[in-house]
Amino acid sequence: MTVALQTEGLVKRYGGLLATDAVSLRLQQGELHAIIGPNGAGKSTLIGQIGGDLRPDAGQVQLHGEDITALPTWQRALRGLGRSYQISSTFPEFCVQDCVALAWQAHQGHGFGSWRALWRRPGCEAAVLAALDQAHLRAQAERPVRALAHGQRRQLELAMVLVAQPRVLLLDEPMAGMGHAESQQVVSLLQGLKGRYSLLLVEHDMQAVFALADTISVLVNGRIIASGRPAEIREDPVVRSAYLGDEELPA
Amino acid sequence: MNAATPSLWRGLFLVLLAALALAPVYAQWASEPFIVTFLTRALVFSLAALSLNLILGFAGLVSFGHALYLGLGAYGVGLLAHHGVDNGWIQLLVTILACALVGFVTGWVSLRTSGISFIMITLAFAQMFYYLFVSLKAYGGDDGLSIASRSDFGLLSLGHAATLYYVALACVVGVLIWTSRMVRAPYGMVLQGCRMNETRMRALGYPTRRYKLSAYVLACVLAGVAGLLYANLTGYASPAYLSWTVSGELIVMVVLGGMGTVAGPLIGTLALLGCEEWLKSLTEHWPLILGPLIVLVVLLARRGLLGLLGATGEAEARA
């Protein structure tokens, strides 16, 4: 198996606080690797460093063997690192299909063209509608983002990531704040992506994580205390005492 | 909002443009040359406001120093004419190069900041150049530089009032047409994306600062062209053109008409300068009336006069 994404001894300090403590992660090609951990464990900080929004104080991030630690966010994106945000981060004044078209355009060379409408560029419509289909958002294509329900905004996040056909997906709590039915839709969507994409998933929904993940890493106080198959994690006494406590794990 | 509304507004807008095109004919017929002078000034400022709207309205960059480029354009004509170069093409070329260079350098520095710092740093650059021109005693210093011969473009001489007027109108219409295409094209969408959510734009793979800098430089060059026309209208290049009050007026024109709309800056400029003229004829205390009027429009409508009339772009119509 080849490694899609890897971090080596990532360290991030905020003053005296060690938010990321020598994190070494390995995401295999085609697998879904979930990161779980209590609030404040440093999950978002970790994702931020992999995506490029945050600079690590030490350590390395590698994408398909290439060191991308020093690259700005946009260059990481162009190298195939797609990312969704925990708090829906879209373009409120655009309609749904415009957001996805903008995400598509980023990978079509420069965007300085200022005469022909983006929507009329060859390939745009097909790619955008396909991504909207994947994210079950086709019916909302022409609605303004402002008018979307919370769950639909989460789906739009996914469509904007998928349309770029990234090699590695960083998904920061794609199911945050979703109802059960909506979560189920996303779970089945992610199920379908496994194998074709390599996914790094941060998620609070334990049921979803244990149903989806090939590998789970447990992050506590910025450190990975355990990493392994879901079955191993479930049985791991360290994980149970440090993080899961008396919480019942899904079978 | 029904489907007919956008085409109704487009129709009205075309009527406005047609009226502008016929204005010199009317002025001639009514023997009121003042109309042409006034409208030329309005069109020149519209062009400057349109250029500011590119960065302020679309990319969300509040530049408080845009008058700098208006001034550079005016001095491009003034300094060259002072040294006997009245060839319009050379003046245009020098203006474009000067504005692009100054715009690139100041933009490169300013775009490292955002928000209030960006406002202050653009203001600081404009003030720097303001005092530079004040200190140039050989070129009139504080008093400015009067321009004896107007720009000569071979077939066209901007010394002729109607010619200057139509050149200004053509520039405004050209920028309007380009803007109306650009809004829906990748470039316009990217700029608007940067305004709404720059972090996300980077995560999508856009080098946002490059796009913003390109828009900034383009806006500076267009404002420079407006300055060139303005110098031909007034026969003067003065440090006053670079003053921060002019930068402020340009912002008011854009905000009043509707930030980030295609036609807003033109409407805002015509409305502001028109009201100014009208109120001046009523009372010498006209700012006391104009000020509150502007505040009212800005408070009532997020997208200025166009927003108030319900004549803004598609995003609103779809909502």
**pLDDT tens, residue by residue, B283-297:** 999 989 999 988 888
Mean pLDDT, to the nearest integer, of B190-194?
97
Q: Which tens digits make up the pLDDT trace of B229-279?
A: 999 999 999 999 999 999 999 999 999 999 999 999 999 999 999 999 999
The verdict on a CB contact (< 8 Å) between B186 and A105 is: yes
In this predicted model, which residue has the larger pLDDT, A125 or B10?
A: A125
A97 vs A101: CA distance, rounded Å: 6
pLDDT for position B318? 36
In this prediction, residue B3 carries a pLDDT of 45
Q: How distant is the alpha carbon of residue B184 from its chain centre? A: 21
Residue A151 binned pLDDT confidence (cut-offs 50, 70, 90): confident
- pLDDT band of A94, cuts 50, 70, 90: very high
The rounded distance, in Å, linking the Cα atoms of A50 and A82 is 11
One-letter identity of residue B233: L
Closest CA to A159 of A213, A73, A98: A98
Residue B217 near residue B103, CB atoms below 8 Å: yes
CATH superfamily ID and name for A1-80+166-251: P-loop containing nucleotide triphosphate hydrolases (3.40.50.300)
Q: How far is CA B150 from CA B54, B77, B235, in A?
A: 29, 8, 7
**What CA dihedral angle connects B258, B259, B263 and B267, to 10 degrees?**
40
pLDDT value, residue A224 = 93
Share of chain B above pLDDT 90, in %: 85
Mean pLDDT, residues B58-78 taken together = 97
Q: Is A240's pLDDT higher than 90?
A: no
Mean pLDDT lowest among A196-205, B106-115, B239-248, B306-315: B306-315
Is residue A192 classed exposed, middle or buried when 0-12, 13-18 and 19+ CB atoms within 10 A define those classes?
exposed
- Pairing type for strands A81-84 and A66-67 reads unpaired
For residue A97 the two structure tokens come to 């299909």
Band (A250; pLDDT cuts 50, 70, 90)? low
Give the tokens for residue B162.
């109607």
In B, residues 173-212, which contact A (CB 8 Å cutoff)? Answer: 178, 181-182, 184-190, 192-193, 196-197, 199-208, 211
Q: Is the pLDDT of residue B224 over 80?
A: yes
Confidence of residue A223 (pLDDT cuts 50, 70, 90): very high
CA distance linking residue B23 with residue B47, whole number of Å: 18
pLDDT at A236: 87
Structural domains of chain B, with CATH? 4-318 (1.10.3470)
**Distance from first CA to last CA of chain A, Å, rounded?**
28
The residues near B278 (Cβ < 8 Å, ≥ 6 apart) are none
Contact A52 B199 (CB under 8 A): no
Q: CA nearest A98: which of B271, B192, B28?
A: B192
The first and second tokens of residue B154, run together, are 């071979």
How much of chain A exceeds pLDDT 90, in percent?
70
The mean pLDDT of A115-132, rounded to a whole number, is 95
A183-194 confidence digits (pLDDT tens): 888 898 899 888
Average pLDDT over residues A66-94: 93
CA distance A99 to A105: 10
In terms of average pLDDT, the best of A149-153, A211-215, B212-216, B286-290 is B212-216
As a whole-number percent, the residues of chain B with pLDDT over 70 amount to 96
- CA dist B137 and B115 (Å) reads 36
Please determine, for residue B75, whether its predicted confidence score (pLDDT) is greater than 90: yes
DSSP secondary structure code for residue B32 in this structure = -
Span A85-101, mean pLDDT? 92
Backbone angles phi, psi at B56, to 5 degrees: -75, -50
- Contact at CB, B204 and A101, closer than 8 angstroms: no
Q: Environment class of residue A13 by beta-carbon count within 10 Å: exposed (0-12), middle (13-18) or buried (19+)?
A: middle
The sheet carrying A198-202 orders its strands as A81-84, A168-172, A198-202, A32-36, A215-220, A223-228
A142 touches chain B (CB under 8 A): yes
Domain boundaries, chain A: 1-80+166-251, 90-165
Provide the pLDDT for residue B315: 41
Binned at pLDDT 50, 70 and 90, residue B174 comes out as very high
Which residue in this structure is represented by tokens 């797609």? A82
Sign of CA dihedral A126, A132, A136, A142: negative
Q: Cα–Cα distances in Å, from A180 out to A184, A225, B120, B197?
A: 6, 30, 49, 29
Check the CA dihedral A100-A102-A105-A107 and report its sign: negative
Mean pLDDT of chain B, nearest integer: 93
pLDDT at B319: 32
Interface test with B, best of A55, A68, A74 (most B CBs within 10 A): A74
From B153's Cα to the closest Cα of chain A, the distance in A is 28
